[in-house]
Chain A
Amino acid sequence: MNLAVPLSSQLINLFASVILLLAFAMLAQRRVLALINLFALQGLTLALSTLVVAVTTGQTHLYWSAGLTLVLKALLLPWILHRLVRRLEVKGDVESLIKVPTTMLVGIALVIIAFNVALPISQLSNTISRGTLGIALATVMLAFLMMITRSKAIPQVVGFLAMENGLFLAATSATYGMPMVVELGIALDVLVGAIILGVFFFQIREQFDSLDIRHLEKLKER
Chain B
Amino acid sequence: MNVFGFLGQMFAIALALLLAPLLTGWVNQCRAWLQNRSAPPLLQPYYMLHKLFLKDVVLAHGASPLFRFAPFVVFGCMVLACAIIPTLSTDLPLAPAADTIALVGVFGLARIFIALAAMDVGTSFGTLGGRREMLIGFLAEPALLMVIFTTAMISQSTSVATIVETLAHRDFIIYPSLAFAGIAFTFVSFAENARVPVDNPATHLELTMIHEAMILEYSGRHLALIEWAASLKLYAYSCLGLALFFPWGIAEGDSFLGLLLAIPVLAIKLAIGGALLAGIETINAKVRIFRAPEFLGTAFLFAVLGLLVRLLLEGRV
User: Is there a contact between chains A and B in the complex with CB atoms less than 8 Å apart?
Assistant: no
Chain A residues with CB under 8 Å of chain B are none
Chain B residues with CB under 8 Å of chain A are none
